[in-house]
Amino acid sequence: MMIPAQPADDLGPEHWINRDLSWIAFNYRVLAQAEDINLPLLDRVRFLAIVSSNLDEFFMVRIAYMRRALKSGQALTGPDGMTPRQLLDSAREKARELMDRANRCWTDDILPALRNSSVDIVEPGELTREDRDYLNPYFREQVLPVLTPMVLDATHPFPLLSSGAIYLLLRLKARSDVEDAFFSKADTVLVQVPSGLDRFVTLPHREDGYRFLLLEDLVTLCANEIVNGYDILNVHHFRITRDAELLLDDDRSDDLIIAIREGLKRSRWGAPVKLSISSKVPDEEAAYLSQMLELEPKDLFRSTGMLDMKGLFGLIGKVERPDLLEPPWPPQNHPAFSGHDDVFSVISKRDVIISLPYQSFDPVTRLIAEAADDPDVLAIKITLYRVSGQSPLVRALIRAAEQKKQVTALVELQARFDEEANITWAQRLDAAGAHVIYGVVGYKTHSKAALVIRRESDGIRRYCHLATGNYNDRTARQYTDLGLLTADPDFGEDLSSFFNVITGYSLPPVWNYIEMAPTGLRARTVAMIRREVERHTPDNPGFIRAKMNSLIDPQIIRELYKASQAGVKIDLLVRGLCRLRPGVPGLSENIRVRSIVDRFLEHPRIFHYRNGGNEEVYLSSADWMERNMDRRLELLFPINDPDCRKEALAVLDAGFADNVSAWRLLPDGVYSREKPAPYEPIYRSQEKLYGRAVAMAAKSRDEKRHNVFTARTGQSARKRR
């Protein structure tokens, strides 16, 4: 595919990759992990569940958005030139191909491999008499009480069905021995498979193996106990996915919590966007369901495997087979916190970078926990975007508020799919006496920042934490992220001003270090790219290295194209969405784009500019996306300490050296997996970074033991003298 060179200010559609098709391409890279026979089997199952979960979200958010745009008559196109109709048709078909390939991976590859490893997902026809004797009482005692059959007839129209739930469509015929006319009229019943029960029903084990039956298959087997008086002619499984857009009622804007809760209720019954059925369902039944749900034939997706494979997460938790998983990588203690000092005494001496999940999130939790109990702490301020259900950090904030400390928490209530959890935490913080801010009108607060104000002998001191990831102890073990802990007074002044901006709507000041979106982050980013061009010479070449989740902002991409045309070398690690086409002669031949897909989700945003030899490194909560630059509150901050800068650059170095988990984006938009050259050592970036964390922790322990030994031997020598 030849892509013509073009001035960066006059680009055609061929110079852009569509953002949604790029997202589907990312999930092909995730699926490749599930297909990789070199990975342990249950890790492959996990990647398959991730693909299914991602596809669900894609339909609930992006496909739903395309359908709304089409329905409203929107004719706007992106820089790639695709119309809403073209994009919807193309995205659905690409998603269908991805789903079909995922199904084949499950049925043809992973399912037989599980059986060969003594983890058996039993088909109903394979059940023994012993199995049925076990299942019958289980069904009557645990499942049947939860089931509610819903009849469909002239007086009972097709009901509203829950998004994501699996349903059974039962076609019935009244038995001839039933005389009551009340029961003889129904011929169709719907039954929801309970989502609160285990999807994988454990069967009696044989030898050392595991045996399971899917819950929907159990309900099907025992369906005659749900509809007494009928013969069951057919049972068909189906599942619907709905538009998850949170639409707020402007009339309830006086109470954001009530508005969001009512919006969540409405979003549960959003317009259907996808119907998933088994490949065995007859065409007439598929047409009936599509008609009842007012869906087009293109919205129908047939599955040869499980409906909703994200349920496979539950299977992993039930199978205790360490041999089918990669060895665990327990988070390592950061050397700075290996002693008995409190967090404040450590940070007061030096800046510290925590590299998650290779290093423990504990110092961040300790910062807030120690602040809650320290009588010298006067105030704690923090932004909360996504937190875990049992967050120790938020519990510490509640404890601090109960101890009459001034606690200010900006809780973003509109963090998609976490709204209910955030409302619960916000109300608990409010009840404890914290000052809770429910976001800033018109913007999502996506920044990750905490500030502790402490009274010390020489005056007030401010302790700061800024990060690329959320204050979530659960995802801190699953996502790669970087966080800076510092007591630098200029950072403290900046964060104080930042919290004044978002809590009091004051105008942003002139910052010492940080930059904030939406007020100045885009301009700062463009200025730094242009500066690289200005300082680029043949003898002193410029380069930019960056790592992020998504690169789709048109203005920034144009600036990168211009920098490439000027000769600046640009290396990018972009995990997911990427609109930029690298390697196009005359346009982007100096740009290289890679994507890392491995056991942890790549999440940090790191930006490295050569700056004429005076190198600068920044971290940020923001990707290079329009929404982050224009519609969110984000922070960009420099890494000034040389040791901390070294840690951030190690993450970039590892990503660009990876020849195992890395994919290269080609000019035609296709991703090619990197492979080691003959005799080249294998380099897996996440494994190397974890090994680095292990080595740092071990060195710290050795130094500590050496210091203890030296101190003891010195004491012994003094005693002998």
- The residues annotated with a catalytic role in the active site are 446
How far are the Cα atoms of 2, 19, 51, 577, 665 from residue 669, in angstroms, in the given order?
12, 11, 20, 11, 6
Could you tell me if residue 417 is left (phi over 0), alpha (psi between -120 and 50 degrees) or otherwise beta?
A: left
Q: Which string of DSSP letters, residue by residue, matches 84-119?
A: HHHHHHHHHHHHHHHHHHHHHIIIIIIHHHHHHTTE
CA dist 186 and 164 (Å) reads: 26
Token pair for 645? 């800068």
Tokens of residue 679, six digits: 């005799």
Phi/psi of residue 263, nearest 5 degrees: -65, -40
Q: Closest by alpha carbon to 121, among 235, 217, 239? A: 217
Name residue 221's amino acid: L
Structure tokens given for 568? 């600046």
Residue 203, both tokens? 């069967």
Task: Report the distance separating Cα 85 and Cα 75, nearest Å.
Answer: 9
Q: What is the bridge-based pairing of β-strands 569-574 and 591-596?
A: parallel
Q: Are 48 and 102 in contact (CB under 8 A)?
A: yes
- Cβ within 8 Å of residue 580, ≥6 positions away: 16, 17, 551, 557, 560, 561, 572, 588, 591, 593
Q: Is 68 helix (H, G, I), strand (E, B) or coil?
A: helix
In the beta sheet, which residues pair with residue 232? 172
The residues with which 191 forms a beta bridge, in sequence order, are 168
Cα–Cα distances (Å) from 466 to 354, 386, 463, 616, 689, in that order, read 10, 15, 10, 17, 21
